[in-house]
Structure 1
């Protein structure tokens, strides 16, 4: 089944999944009333369970629920390694399927090893006051050998994933280089085209104005005097000087006017 469907089914508690046989309800009884808002909490959990329930109904008979055992502390690093391998990014479909199957097989071996270790530990506790050291030593040594074999397979799988990822990275680099090489002539052609258009634009811009008979710019007007009195005083002073320069030849009216202007200027 698709990985996303498997994740949805795994998100639903096993006791809430549809029955293995018989009719399947559109909405399971345990779902209760549909949520009104998509918010985290009971409503969000209801939506997740509903999608998982539907996926389980579609693939009924094609999956089985496996309970994950509690691993001892010494086996926890191996489980983390398997989780990293399961989440590794691999683009090759066959390699990805191989890693997925091997990770699942190793996961089952690790869980079985943990269960057997727990059983042997319980047996040792029961035989604490019985002289059974030789008998209990055999499964312990075999379990150690099995754990070493599982660890060796995990290391080989990690090396395989690293090799595949390196090969895919190298292939991607080669494809990028080929694409870059094929793109260079296209870029060069576009650059030449744009260069020709830029030269044409430069020639059009340097050819002068398209309207040679432009009207002359208007003459700049003198700013108006803020205070007209100084201008009048200057004109009156010039007029008095001209009349005085005429001397005795000045008409009587002008001579009288010059005296009045001079008196006004001296005030």
Structure 2
């Protein structure tokens, strides 16, 4: 008995059972389903690749379409003159900087401001390949003078006695009275006397009804397409943009296409 009791006393204590929750990481394969967004075509109204078109907000809908006669009242021109037309000088609307455009330098007046001499920039061409020269300036002024009711006709008749071309790139204005600011009629900040292509207009019977469409362009762009309802117009950069004043002055081409569009409102 004693031995059994002693042996029992020597038995190791019963082990304690410890229960612990252990999180074991389990590799899970997750299937991700990618839904491809449907391709949406450009919402522009023209069939030209979107990356080639620069879009400009058109401030209102054209009430008169397919008419580029900017020398009569009626056809609106919030953007047309900047793409297809040109004049002698410009004033930068933001900086006030004077920009020589078709004229290569500022006007030169005689001592009593009754004559103004303009030296033209050489190497400027109309979009049909005809060179712009002093003859175009003379023709434009005389056409306005001789056709009352056209835009600027009253001003040209009031101030201009005679306009001549001493040579291919020189224009001489003889004024009826001293006017040291006559050049402002040929300087665009918002509007000005834009040049006519003599070789197109000299055969026109009535310049006040001539639509001049499609226009022969003196700017860096030519007319390409338009909305019959007047909501948009598309212009294409000329292949010979280097022969326009924007190309000559900047040395850089603009976008291949420019779309002006009126969104309403």
Rg comparison, structure with higher value: 1
- The structure richer in helix per residue is 1
Q: Which has the higher contact order (CA 8 A, sep 6+)?
A: 2
TM-score category (smaller protein): under 0.3
- The structure richer in strand per residue is 2
TM-score normalized with structure 2 length: 0.19
TM-score normalized with structure 1 length: 0.19
